[in-house]
Structures are given as structure tokens and as C-alpha cells.
Amino acid sequence: MSTVEVVMIRHAQSTWNAEGRFTGWADPPLTDLGRNEAEKAGQILKQHGYHFDRVFSSRLQRAKTTADIILGILNQSDLTIEPDWRLNERHYGALQGMSKQDLRDKAGDEQVHRWRRGYHDTAPALAEDDPRHPKFDPQYADLPREILPAVESLADTRTRAVEFWQEKVVPELAKGNKILLSAHGNTLRGLIMALAGMTEEEVEHFEIPTGTPIVYRFKQDGTPISWQYLE
């Protein structure tokens, strides 16, 4: 059976990454450094001869812009970026927008670590009438309100990322199509956890850098083979 590759990338640096803030479903743009990171990722992929058949991203602009910059470097700007909310970052609830360092000072390093990395842990949820709740965001008006989260654990994020993978990516692997997937740290942590068979303890210590392509090799039936960073 022949093999096929999927390139996954955590979006390049956003303004809130640079400021050390919990971001989640908030939608800040890339920094200038982030745009440079995305350009570098595109150049690396170009040097290795990559050309994509399908491109998926989250609905958040930091992921879509990262994919758009890469496609420009590869001379594939005419390829449609297909956004899917299930690739969105983990929803950090009421912590979104807050400084991680301020929270460390108030709640302690261990609590902030659990909020950020714990598999089943969740931050405090948004109130249902909080204007930051995604049910008030016009870009999610096409989705049933009951599926829009007020907060998520990594386990929740993994569930929707794997659902997306099975529905959208596995059929493309069967066709031998090369996929670019531009998403977020927690989305990719949950997805790779499922694909690679990581334990909860392993995934809690698993960190993915911004703007660095991950090449994951599969059999055409979707069976994972191996993955590595492309640097």
C-alpha cells in the first residue's frame, strides 16, 4: 500500500502569543514575527518540493493567515482554504484575554499549568450571557448554539479534532491527496495524541512550537506510520 503525507502546522505567532495571554477562540492577528515564521515555513516546504491538494484551517485568522502565507510561497494562492470550527483552539472560557503571568501570580504556577496542559482540567466557564461566548459571534451563526462551548478541556478539543479528521481528512488520504492542516497547539496536541497513541501523561508534557511544519506519514487507509518536524 502506498503512503501519503499530511503537513500540520500550529499557526505562527499571534499578538496575544507575544503578550502571553490566554487566547482560545479570541481572534488576534499575527505579529510581524509571526508572518516571518509563516514565510519561513513556506520556504522550508518549498525547498522540500511540497504541493498540496487540499488545505484546511480553523476559523480563526491566525491559522487562516498562516496557511495563506504558505500557499503564497508555494505559488498555490488559488487553492481554497477550507475553514472548520472543529480545528479551532481549545476554548479557555473566562481566562481568554487574561495574562498568564498575572494568573500565575494570583493562582500559582501549578494551577495555571493544569489550566493550560491538563487533559481533563478546564478553566472557569464563560457565563451564558457573556458577550465573549461564541454563540454571540456572527462567524458561528451557522452552527447550532448548543454545540458552541463556554469552556473546553483538552479531551473535549481532541474529540472534535478527531471527528474532523475522520470526516474530512481520511477520505482524502484514500485518494492519495496531500493535505495542509493549519490549526492550533491544543487542536494538534489532541489530534496527534489520538494518532500516535499518546497517554494522558505524555500529552500533558507535549508542546508544539509555532510556525514549524509537522510531516505525518500515513498509509492510504489512514493508518498512521510516523511523524517528524520539518526544519
- Residue tagged 520539518 (cell numbers): 230
At 181, give phi and psi (nearest 5°): -125, 110
Is residue 162 one of the residues assigned to a domain? no
Is residue 70 one of the residues assigned to a domain? yes
Q: Kindly report, residue by residue over 212-224, the tens digit of the pLDDT.
A: 999 999 999 999 9
CATH number at residue 87: 3.40.50.1240
Amino acid letter, 196 = A
Whether the predicted pLDDT of 26 surpasses 70: yes
pLDDT of residue 97: 95
117, 204 in Cβ contact below 8 A?
yes
Catalytic residue among 89, 152, 172, 204, which?
A: 89
193, 210 in Cβ contact below 8 A?
no
Active-site residue flag, 89: yes
Q: Whole-model pTM above 0.75?
A: yes
189, 203 in Cβ contact below 8 A?
yes
Is residue 205 one of the residues assigned to a domain? yes
Q: Kindly report, residue by residue over 108-145, the tens digit of the pLDDT.
A: 999 999 999 999 999 999 999 999 999 999 999 999 99
Length of the chain: 231
Q: How confident is the model at residue 231 (pLDDT cuts 50, 70, 90)?
A: confident
Q: How confident is the model at residue 1 (pLDDT cuts 50, 70, 90)?
A: low
Average pLDDT over residues 205-217: 97
Structurally, the chain folds into a number of domains equal to 1
Residue 215, beta-bridge partner list: 7, 228
Active-site residue flag, 110: no
Please state, in angstroms and rounded to a whole number, the distance separating the CA atoms of residues 89 and 188. 9
Is residue 219 one of the residues assigned to a domain? yes
Task: Output the nine-digit C-alpha cell for 25.
Answer: 477562540
Domain that holds residue 145: 13-149+201-229
